[in-house]
Amino acid sequence: MLHRTWRRAAIAAASLLTLTLVACSEEAGDAKDLSGNRAGAMADYAVGTQFTATEPLSFSILYNNHPNYPLKNEWLFWSELTKRTNVKLEPVAVPLSDYEQKRSLLVGAGDAPLIIPKTYHPAENQFVSSGAILPVSDYLDLMPNFKEKIDKWGLKPEIDTLRQSDGKFYLLPGLHEKPWQEYTVAVRTDILDELKQPVPKTWDEFYTVLKAMKAKYPDSYPYSDRWSKPTPGGALLRIAGSSFGTQAGWSFQHSTWDPAAGKFVYTGATEQYKQMIQYLNKLVTEGLLDPESFTQSDEAARQKLANGKSFVITSNAQTLVNDYRPDLAKTIPGAKLVNIPLPVGPAGEINPASRLENGVMISKKARDSKNFVAMMQFIDWLYYSDAGQEFAKWGIEGTTFVKDAAGKRMPAPDVDMIGLNPKGTKHLQKDFGFANGVFAYGGKLDLMQSFFSPEELEFQKVMNTRKPIEVPPPAPLTDAEREQVSLWETPLKDYVTQNTLKFILGQRPLTEWDAYVGELKAKNADQYIEVVNKAYERFKKDNG
C-alpha cells in the first residue's frame, strides 16, 4: 500500500555472528545439510530454466486481499501457475486494511504461512531476533535469478541496506532495473495555456504558476491535495521532501545520511527539512495551497478539482486516468490535466525512487520442510525470473495478452487493464488474477513500463535521465539497540509530524525552529542518531 508503516516488538539481546563469518557463509552457500530438503526440487534449475517441481507440491502463502480485485479461487492465475510449476498455492487471505496487523500476529504466534509477501522494509526487523523468519541471504545459492539480477543491475548497495547486525538479510525484495518514480503533481494545462505560463520545471517555477492562478482566480486555492491519512500530507511531503534532499511524509525516516559530514543526522532537525517546511508554509500563507490538504478526505480533494476550485493535485499514473480525468470530464469539458515531471528543488535533478520494492519473508518452518529447496526455486522463478515476472504481470500470451511485431505487449482483444483496452469486457486483475500486487512487481524496464501509456512513458523517460538518489550506507542495529530506539521512535515521529504541520500551517512561527530542534533533543533525537552512527561505524569496520 501507499503508506509504509511498521511495528517493532520488544526484542531480547542475542549473541551475533561477525560479518566476516557471514560473508564467507554467503559465498559458500548454506553451511547446513540440505540433502533431506530437496524433495520436488530440480537438479538442473538455473537462470532461464522453467521451474517445474518433480512432484506435485503445495505451499501456504499469506495473501493481501485487495478490494479492487477480491480473491477468486477460479482465477486463471492459480490453475496456470500449477500447470507451469506443478505447485499449488494455498492462500491465507487477509483484508488489505488488516494485513500488517494480522501478519504480525501470525508470525509472532508461529502460525504464519510458509511464504509471507507484501512486506516493506524495515517491517521484517521486528521478527528477526525471535528467529520466526529465515535469514534468506543464507540461501541465495538456491535462487539463481535473484542473484543474477543483483549482479547485472548493480544492486548490491541497495541490498546491503537490508542487512541486520549479523550481516544477513531477512527479506527478499522486489528488484527493479531502473528506479520508478510514481508520484508527482498533476496540473491543469488548459489553465496554464490561459495564463500563458509554461509547465513548471522547478519548485520555484511551480510557485510562480500558483501565484498566476491565484491572481486570475482569487477565490480558489490553486493546489488542494489528497492522501492526508494516516500521515497528514503524506504524498505531498514525500515528493517535496525528496526534492529538498530530505525524507518526509510517507517516506519519513528518523535518520538521513549526510555524505558531506560522513555520518547520519536526525531528519526532522536538518536544514533541508526546514527549507521544505519554509517553502510549503509560503504556499499556505499566500493562499496557494489549501490548508485543508493536510486533513481533508480524498473525496473532498477530488471534488474541489472537479468543481474548478483547485487546479493542481498530487497524482500518479493510475489516479490521473482512473480518478481525476473522469471527474473533470463530467464537470468541466475541455479541462486538461497532466502529470508533470517531479519539480526540481535544492537537491538537484535527482530521481528519488528506490530500485527495491516490498518483498517476501520466509517462515522458519519452511527450512525444516522436505520441499524447502523446491520452494526457494519456485519463489525465485515466480518473483525473479523474466518468464515468471511476465506471467505474474500479464498472464498467458494469446489468452490475456498478445505481442505486436515489435514485441510490445498489449491486452488481448477482450481484456482491459487501466484503460489500455477500453472495449475489453474482462479485466486482467478482477477476472484473471494477473497484475496482482502480491505477485507482480519489479523486473526489467520494458516489463515495468509495459502498462504505461505513451504519456506515462514520456514522464518516466524524463525521470530516468536524472541522477539516482544516493543509497545510504548500512547501519544495522543489534537487537539490544533496536529495543532501545523502538522506545524513542514513536514519540519522536509523532512530534515531528505534529510540528511539521504546525509550521506549515502557520500555527507555530518558524522563528521557533531552534526551540523545536531542542525539543527533539529532549525526546532523545541525539541519542537515537548516536546509536545509528555507532552501528554504521561498526558495520563499516567489520565489513572491511
CA dihedral 92, 140, 2, 387 (to 10 degrees): -80
Residue 322: per-residue pLDDT: 85
β-strand 415-416 against 57-65: which pairing, if any?
A: unpaired
CATH of 57-180+357-468, one of 3.40.1190.20, 3.40.190.10, 3.40.960.10, 3.10.129.10: 3.40.190.10
CB neighbours of residue 187 within 10 Å: 26
pLDDT at 335 over 90: yes
pLDDT band, residue 418 (cuts 50/70/90): confident
**Which sequence spans correspond to the domains of the chain?**
57-180+357-468
Residue 542: per-residue pLDDT: 86
Q: What is the mean pLDDT of residues 360-371?
A: 97
Q: Helix, strand, coil proportions of the chain in percent (round to 5)?
A: 45, 15, 40
Residue 23: per-residue pLDDT: 40
Three-class SS of residue 478? Answer: coil
What is the enclosing helix (H) or strand (E) of 356? strand 356-362
pLDDT at 462 over 80: yes
Instruction: Name the residue with higher pLDDT: 129 or 208.
Output: 208
CA dist 506 → 215, 249, 278, 314 (Å): 22, 18, 10, 22
* Short-list 180, 216, 195, 455, CA closest to 325: 455
Distance CA(332)–CA(303), nearest Å, equals: 12
pLDDT band, residue 26 (cuts 50/70/90): very low
pLDDT at 18 over 70: no
* Short-list 357, 500, 508, CA closest to 440: 357
pLDDT band, residue 544 (cuts 50/70/90): low
pLDDT at 20 over 60: no
pLDDT, tens digit, for every residue of 396-410?
Answer: 999 999 999 999 999
Q: What is the mean pLDDT of residues 350-363?
A: 96
pLDDT at 374 over 90: yes
Residue 21: per-residue pLDDT: 35
pLDDT at 19 over 60: no
